[in-house]
Structure 1
Amino acid sequence: MQTTSSMTKLISRLAVLIGISFLVSCGTVQERPTVKHVPAIKKPADYHQVKKVLYSQYNEWQGVRYQRGGLSRHGVDCSGFVHITFKSKLGMHLPRTTHLQSRAGREIRKEELRAGDLIFFRTGPASNHVGIYLENNKFLHASQKKGVIISRLDHVYWKTNYWKSVRV
């Protein structure tokens, strides 16, 4: 039988572990940063098709609430939404976490963004956020406050917290 002191220590440790888990970025499942590629998009017409597919995904998921670790229409987090979108709409398997997604492709300049590129933000000391570029400074993502939405890169919050862009 455990004493009150050892139970208090156990509860304290558990609280610390739970607190730390909430500080990490969207999605916490660890995996290797691998990407299974489909044929490369080469023509501008292909980017038009990517935009069309991404807007279709938005229409299907618009307003789905944010849920840390979620992977369904009952709730989804930012990296989960990217993971699901690339798998179901673009035929590509991306890692599940924001951290690994940020390492899955080749880094590009903000000025080079095309439909389907990933955009990363540093939203806190130990957290990141990811979205998918659409066009004209707009990107698709799962927002903690508004669920799945389209936002603007030139909004002061996103502009201030922009980290990098990646092409997979």
Structure 2
Amino acid sequence: MYLFKKMITASLLIIPLVISANSFAFNMPKEFASLGVKTLSNKDVFSKQASFIKSERKATSNNIRSSILAEFSNWKGTHYRFGGTTHKGVDCSALMQHIFSDSFHKSLPRTTTQQIQNGEHVNKEMLKPGDLVFFQTSPGTRHVGVYVGNNEFIHASSCVGVTISSLANRYWMDHYETARRLKMIG
């Protein structure tokens, strides 16, 4: 499926170039105009291509969000346990390992200290579903969750277990440290 999407995207990038380079070959005879047949200008072709690529990116973000939320439903309400890695109790970094492994076949290191070293830095304003969000909860202690859109993230909270929280919550705003985007697709 991934290869098919790449081929479609490549085709959409090449076709306008071919049409542009050979536009004289696509000038329709005036007789067709009377039949209601319309031609597309290069501007129209590029505009449609750009909107297709934007919708393709959005579909990918929606797919990532859906996959993460589906995995969340398997863990929702699981109690927090420091060092825990199972449904009997899980900590924040182990939850991220499970979500990424089960949703995307992506292996993550075990601890937040290791996880924060993966991926590329992302500004808070540019977060997308699937980005890891990190918090400095106390000196030398980090917390991690995964962003799911709508200013929300999934994490294993020491208070309520596996849950969804808002980045707009005062506590998370005050303790936000950074975010990382992992290469999951492609």
Letter in 1 for 2:105: G
Write the distance in 2 (CA, Å) between the matches of 1:67 and 1:53.
24
In the alignment, what sits opposite 2:143? 129
Write the distance in 2 (CA, Å) between the matches of 1:97 and 1:66.
15
Letter in 2 for 1:150: I
CA deviations 1:36-85 (Å, max 9, x no partner) are xx99xx72211111111111112111100001111110110000000111
Write the distance in 1 (CA, Å) between the matches of 2:160 and 2:93.
15
In the alignment, what sits opposite 1:18? none
SS class of match (1:79): helix
Q: CA deviation at 1:166?
A: 0.5
Letter in 2 for 1:63: G
Write the distance in 1 (CA, Å) between the matches of 2:73 and 2:86.
15
The count of aligned residue pairs is 129
In the alignment, what sits opposite 2:131? 117
Higher relative contact order (CA 8 A, sep 6+): 1
Write the distance in 2 (CA, Å) between the matches of 1:90 and 1:141.
17
Matching of residue 71 in structure 1 with residue 85 in structure 2? yes
Write the distance in 2 (CA, Å) between the matches of 1:159 and 1:105.
22
Write the distance in 2 (CA, Å) between the matches of 1:75 and 1:83.
14
Structure 2: give runs of 5+ residues left out of the alignment.
Answer: 4-55
Letter in 2 for 1:72: T
Alignment of 1:118-157 (within 5 A): 118-157=132-171
Letter in 1 for 2:145: G
Letter in 2 for 1:65: H
Matching of residue 53 in structure 1 with residue 70 in structure 2? no
Higher helix share: 2
Runs of 4+ in structure 1 displaced over 3 angstroms?
A: none
Matching of residue 160 in structure 1 with residue 174 in structure 2? yes
Letter in 1 for 2:147: Y
Q: Identity of aligned pairs, percent?
A: 37
> In terms of Rg, which structure is larger?
2
Matching of residue 101 in structure 1 with residue 115 in structure 2? yes
Matching of residue 83 in structure 1 with residue 89 in structure 2? no
Pairwise CA RMSD: 1.5
SS class of match (1:164): strand
